[in-house]
Structure 1
């Protein structure tokens, strides 16, 4: 959503004040949360793009024989305060990398589809469904 769309929705909510103020207040809160999530996502995408660009530049510099190909990556990580500062940091970072690689490999495995039983399908479909008391 664009900024103007958020503003339009806020204006509409403000115009509807009256009998259902509580629901409109909830809608306003949800809209604020949605806008904050959108801003966080945009920020994360920008950081990711910066790191990706630095990584690609480092690989390209290495390919042409640059004496210090990690310059780009060091600079980008330094801006974010993410450079390792000692032996303890290095050991922790390498451990984190192994854990992250294992987690990503696990997430990328497709879970086996669970077969649905016919009784469950029958019970949950149609308009004659009954709710438990």
Structure 2
């Protein structure tokens, strides 16, 4: 069983996001076909639809995060207050999302993932990525005319 099986994913979380190359294709298309307003209007509508889907996905992820954070805080508060089973808040929330590890292999993967994530975050915090706006952006699409899917 893969660790993502059993996750509760509603329609708002199953979205197709545009890749960087798709955005580059759109930019190239707009540049090459700027004299055809109908095409530009179709591209604009498509982009607005994609933005709406992304907004809904972000709202869903924020709600999941808030529920998980609330459960984690309640777990810590319950432990400090001496409740007999303080993990109930957190285990209930994880169970709703299908995220409770069930087998020893899953337990080991979760722990390994946690150690790896902590190490990666520590590395990122020590040496943040530097971005410079001085270098010219390389275009990957260089056609004079591209046809976008309808």
TM-score scaled to structure 2, two decimals? 0.61
Residue of structure 2 equivalent to 1:87: 104
Match of 1:72 among 64, 89, 108: 89
Cα distance change of structure 1 residues 48 and 112 upon mapping to structure 2, 3 Å threshold: closer
Deviation at 1:35, TM superposition (A): 0.7
The separation in 2 between residues aligned to 1:100 and 1:34, in whole angstroms, is 29
Cα distance change of structure 1 residues 113 and 55 upon mapping to structure 2, 3 Å threshold: closer
Residue of structure 2 equivalent to 1:106: 123
Q: SS of 1:50's equivalent? A: helix
Residue of structure 1 equivalent to 2:55: 38
The separation in 2 between residues aligned to 1:74 and 1:61, in whole angstroms, is 13
Larger Rg: 1
Deviation at 1:109, TM superposition (A): 2.5
Q: Which runs of 5+ in 1 are unaligned?
A: 1-18, 125-133
Instruction: Please give the root-mean-square deviation of Cα atoms over the aligned residues, in Å.
Output: 2.4
The separation in 2 between residues aligned to 1:114 and 1:60, in whole angstroms, is 41
Residue of structure 1 equivalent to 2:142: none
Q: SS of 1:22's equivalent? A: helix
Structure (1/2) with the larger helix percentage: 1
Count of matched residue pairs: 100
The separation in 2 between residues aligned to 1:32 and 1:105, in whole angstroms, is 37
Residue of structure 2 equivalent to 1:53: 70
TM-score scaled to structure 1, two decimals? 0.68
Q: SS of 2:98's equivalent? A: coil
Cα distance change of structure 1 residues 92 and 31 upon mapping to structure 2, 3 Å threshold: same
List, as ranges, runs of 4+ consecutive aligned residues in structure 1 with deviation greater than 4 Å.
Answer: 112-115
Deviation at 1:114, TM superposition (A): 8.9
Bigger relative contact order, structure 1 or 2 (CA pairs below 8 A, ≥6 apart): 2
